[in-house]
A and B are shown apart, each in its own frame.
Chain A
Amino acid sequence: MTTTTRVAPLIDARGLHKHFGPLHVLKGVDLMVAPRELVVVIGPSGSGKSTLLRCLNLLETPDSGSVVVDGIDLMDPRTDINLARQRIGMVFQSFNLYPTMSALGNVTLALRHVAGKSAAEADVLGMAALARVGLADRAGHRPHQLSGGQQQRVAIARAVALEPRAMLFDEPTSSLDPELVGSVLAVMRELRADGMTMVVVSHEMGFARAAADRVVFMEDGAIVEQGPPDAIFGDATHSRTRAFVGQIRA
């Protein structure tokens, strides 16, 4: 089953292959994401979902295939990947906030040094981004003074502040205590409501069901099946999808 996108895709990745030594982690993956679409990628660990996500901003360079984001061919050697990465925000499982900086400092670093804003402009934009994730009152806190959920929301603000065209989330709630997951998912739902294009690798089935436009099931380096959440969770075509969905629900 394939989903056809009527408008030109914002993310257009085709024929991605990636090897880590003898391991063939991506075996010819195609992923197209329409503007304002939210795609959740699920699958067992080691299925290549994180690698696929990391290929979309070239944190991993695919061995072959093409990645075009917002019309920019990331694999073209003439492309300035650092300029392109401004347009693709990324949020990590382990937050990866800079421990030497305050929450605001984390958010403004790239605004100043990549987007070329003055310190004053960056502070204004940074405070707006922190307000957006509900943490304006924590601007001066260092990461270690924040809870995991707050740290992840600062990380989201850091990415959002650059006004990216798309956001990539790599298991954003997997290292959070259960009671903190909701605050992060709430911020992601708001981003979605504001029309952000998002690709989310996640095991949060509730979130996928409620918020995703499309769920992609990966296994063994390939996309097995994709479709609307109801179809994937309720009535999957492939037995492997059904088995995986049944497993995580149990």
Chain B
Amino acid sequence: MNIRGSWDRFADAFLNGRVLAKYWPDILAGLGVTIELAVLIVITGIAAGLALALLRCLGWRGLNWVIVQVVDLFRALPPLVILVLIYFGLPRAPSGFVSTWISLALVLAAFAEEIFWAGIVSVPKGQWEAARSTGLRLGQTLRLVVLPQALRVTIPPLTNRAIAITKGTALGSVVAVSEVLGAASSAMSNSYNASPLLLGAGAYLVLFVPVVVLGRFVERRLGPTAKPNHV
């Protein structure tokens, strides 16, 4: 088999101009759905994670136990399982879009809670004591003294985790959401050609490469040091 022949077959299957021309609007629409899902998941997931971490600061033993169990559960379960349980398991099934949003937001909330909590715990006890000794209340101490320090260490891992989980929007294709992968799969079935999948991959790169670069930029600005601490 010569190289030219292999390349032609590859090009026909993955870079088929006719197929790409016909289906790119579907992929673009899918990109819109993916972006919409990603924004909703990141906002609600991080907000819920922060809320849980702040609740944990109150130090109510029973509540903390519940938070830890729930967080561990959602960190341990594969997101697909959560998605399927919500989509098929709930008595009044939410749409595929809402199911994908809720399941991934739950997973992100669980990871974000742990990241925020680790950040809050990393702030030395002396910071709390200094603030409280001047009469600042618990909430003021958190907001004015502890969180500004905690957020610096949470933003890099939080960015990474948000990107990883947002990529999971591809799972929406399982429950008939026409996000990028869903749109690409249907186009693939309809055209008997894999070119839409490559276009879909391109759409993911267009969406996530800037986010990854932004994440690295934030990490460099906020991280403790830009270099490893070699001796």
Using CB atoms and an 8 Å cutoff, list the residues of chain A in contact with chain B.
57, 59, 82-86, 88-90, 92, 94, 96-100, 109-110, 113-115, 155, 158-159, 162
A85 CB contacts on chain B under 8 angstroms: 132-135
Interface size on B, residues (CB 8 A): 18
| From A94, A99, A100, A110, contact of B134 by CB (8 A) | A110
A110–B135 CB distance below 8 A: yes
B134 CB contacts on chain A under 8 angstroms: 85-86, 89, 109-110, 114, 158-159, 162
A59 CB contacts on chain B under 8 angstroms: 129, 132-133
A82–B144 CB distance below 8 A: no
What residue of chain A has the Cβ atom nearest to residue B146's Cβ?
Answer: A98
Offer 9 A-B interface pairs, CB within 8 angstroms, sorted by A. A59-B133, A89-B133, A96-B126, A98-B131, A110-B134, A110-B136, A113-B144, A114-B140, A158-B134
Chain B proximity of A237: nearest CB distance (Å): 35
A159 to B134, CA, bound (A): 7
| From B129, B136, B144, B152, contact of A96 by CB (8 A) | B129
User: Which B residues between 107 and 121 are near A, CB-CB below 8 angstroms?
Assistant: none
B133 CB contacts on chain A under 8 angstroms: 57, 59, 85, 88-90, 159
Count A-B contacts at CB 8 Å.
Answer: 66
User: Which B residues between 52 and 96 are near A, CB-CB below 8 angstroms?
Assistant: none
Using CB atoms and an 8 Å cutoff, list the residues of chain B in contact with chain A.
124, 126-127, 129-137, 140, 144-145, 148-149, 152
What residue of chain A has the Cβ atom nearest to residue B148's Cβ?
Answer: A100
| From B126, B137, B152, contact of A94 by CB (8 A) | B126
A214 to B164, CA, bound (A): 63
B135–A114 CB distance below 8 A: yes
Indicate whether A99 sits within 8 Å of B126 (C-beta atoms), given known contacts A83-B135, A90-B133, A110-B135: no
| From A86, A94, A99, A155, contact of B135 by CB (8 A) | A86
A113 to B124, CA, bound (A): 21
Chain B proximity of A18: nearest CB distance (Å): 16
A92 to B134, CA, bound (A): 12
A98–B136 CB distance below 8 A: no
A83 to B152, CA, bound (A): 31
A92–B135 CB distance below 8 A: no
Chain A proximity of B187: nearest CB distance (Å): 50
A1 to B169, CA, bound (A): 76
7 smallest A-B Cβ distances: which pairs?
A110-B134, A96-B130, A96-B126, A114-B135, A90-B133, A86-B135, A85-B135
A98 CB contacts on chain B under 8 angstroms: 127, 130-131, 145, 149
Best-buried of A82, A92, A155, A162 by chain B (most CB within 10 Å): A82
A99 CB contacts on chain B under 8 angstroms: 149
What residue of chain A has the Cβ atom nearest to residue B127's Cβ?
Answer: A96
Q: Apart from A83-B135, A98-B127, A109-B145, what are 11 other A-B pairs with CB-CB below 8 Å?
A: A57-B133, A85-B135, A90-B130, A92-B126, A96-B127, A98-B130, A100-B152, A110-B134, A114-B134, A159-B134, A162-B134
A201 to B132, CA, bound (A): 20
A52 to B144, CA, bound (A): 28
What residue of chain B has the Cβ atom nearest to residue A164's Cβ?
Answer: B134
A85 to B144, CA, bound (A): 18
Best-buried of A94, A159, A162 by chain B (most CB within 10 Å): A94
A162–B135 CB distance below 8 A: yes
A113 CB contacts on chain B under 8 angstroms: 136, 140, 144
